[in-house]
Amino acid sequence: MALERTFSIIKPDATKRNLTGAIAKKFEDAGLRIVASKRIHLSKAQAGEFYKVHAERPFYDELCEFMASAPIVCQVLEGENAIAKNREVMGATNPADAEAGTIRAEFAESVGENSVHGSDAPETAAEEIAYFFSGLELVG
Ligand code: DAT
Ligand code: MG
């Protein structure tokens, strides 16, 4: 399979606890290359736009507040089968269900404050990368 790219966010709960490096190491140890990386602080409106697919869910407002509560680190990860590999390294959405050794099993605090975001399909990966990065910022 050709190299694939996926979009990742290290979320506020993790940046606040100084876990950026520990999480990046998990990606690199899994064979994912960080080809773009930046630390930003989203407004609640920007968080709402990013997560608009969840607008009707009961946790949407809380999710947007959380995502705007502290800086995040946005990254593009590249590798063979990067989308699925990243989801594997992240672990299940609810850390209580996440496999041992995954980022969420080790670091997540709750289903809402679960340390990382990762794209779920090629279309969303392409959209999310384009939302946060220009082509010039992707350095393979
Ligand atoms: P994932 O982040 O694993 O792709 P998702 O896309 O279903 O999960 O949900 C997006 C985020 O919304 C998730 O990372 C945390 C939050 N979330 C999901 N389900 C939740 C719930 N039941 N209660 C609170 N927050 C939730
Ligand atoms: Mg998702």
| Interface pTM, i.e. ipTM | 0.98
How far is it, in rounded angstroms, from Cα 128 to Cα 6? Answer: 8
Residue where the block lists tokens 């390294």: 89
Note the pTM of the prediction, 2 decimals: 0.98
Which one is catalytic: 5, 26, 85, 117? Answer: 117
In 3D space, the residue among 127, 118, 115 whose CA is nearest the CA of residue 81 turns out to be 118
Query: For residue 57, what pLDDT is reported?
Result: 98
Closest ligand 1 atom to residue 112 Cα is 25
In 3D space, the residue among 91, 87, 109 whose CA is nearest the CA of residue 101 turns out to be 91
How far is it, in rounded angstroms, from Cα 45 to Cα 103? Answer: 27
With a cut of 70, which residues of the chain have pLDDT below it? 1
Annotation marks residue 117 as catalytic: yes
Query: For residue 1, what pLDDT is reported?
Result: 67
Which ligand has the shortest distance to the CA of 116?
A: 1
Q: Among the CATH numbers 1.20.1050.10, 3.20.20.60, 3.40.50.300, 3.30.70.141, which is that of 3-137?
A: 3.30.70.141
Q: Could you state, in order of their start, the residue ranges of all structural domains in the chain?
A: 3-137
